[in-house]
Structure 1
Amino acid sequence: MVMRKKGKCGSKGLNLASLSGKGADDVLSTDLLAFIRSSLRSVWSLELLLLLRRQAPRAMGVEEMARELRGTETLVSKCAPQLEAAGLIASEQGFYRFAPASPALQELCALLEIEYRERPVAVVDAIVSTPNDRLTSFADAFRFKEKDE
């Protein structure tokens, strides 16, 4: 049985680690955690990567991927180039396929799939707790500066 801490449970205040008792840092390997934080910007990206991995070596179009994920073509069109830039998938004439750029990335993707199946909260927590540079820059704009600065 999952126990929640008292307090607000809105999207702003929810910490997934508090639901499981352990954070991603405590559950996932250091290599996998670094991989997740450097390669996956959203749970949608994770789901897209795992979809293409399951379909390998077959390539899929944006429309088909959106349908399989029950998402939108816009969402898939945004996630796919990010995964391609990370060296995880390849594009060929508007179709994408799972194509890790190295054996190490291949192994990390296999481990990611296992961990996501066995510890989904830890994997999602690793993704959503990744610092966002744009958000940090925006928040820094509202910090009070000390007199010496």
Structure 2
Amino acid sequence: MLHIDSVVGDRAEPGLHRRLHHLEHHGAVETVTIASADMARRRLRLTTPKGEELAIALPREQKLFDGAVLLIDDDRAIVVRAEVERWLRLQPASIADAVELGYHAGNLHWRVRFEGECLLVALEGPAEAYFARLDALFAGRSIKSTVVTQDLAA
């Protein structure tokens, strides 16, 4: 098992970018995809695409991020790729629906964002599970919903 105790840097940094570019031409860069919900964790166990186990234990002042270089040497590199989040976009028809939706989203501890009059709920499981919770709460009311698969981090 490979122990990672710090982030080397960002793949976009010019020096690292050149080294990674060279290693990519030799098929020596592994990308580990990490779920968005796990990006805030400091301790994590992963398996690379080639089957190597990683034990990540970062200091408090460091975080994982998309493009974080975990390892780079003359023979190989390991880079983090953040999984694109899926969001459920909910548009209530009235202020009363919006208040009740917000109340229930808070009680269910859903991660949310706001986009105009819509509430975006981060999907950390099957969308059907979220719809099942909302069906009981909003039977007969008008709430438009769509699943969005994109990076809304920006």
TM-score range, shorter chain: under 0.3
Between 1 and 2, higher relative CO (CA 8 Å, sep ≥ 6) is seen in: 1
TM-score (norm 2): 0.22
Q: Which has the larger radius of gyration?
A: 2
TM-score (norm 1): 0.22
- Larger strand share, 1 or 2: 2
- Larger helix share, 1 or 2: 1
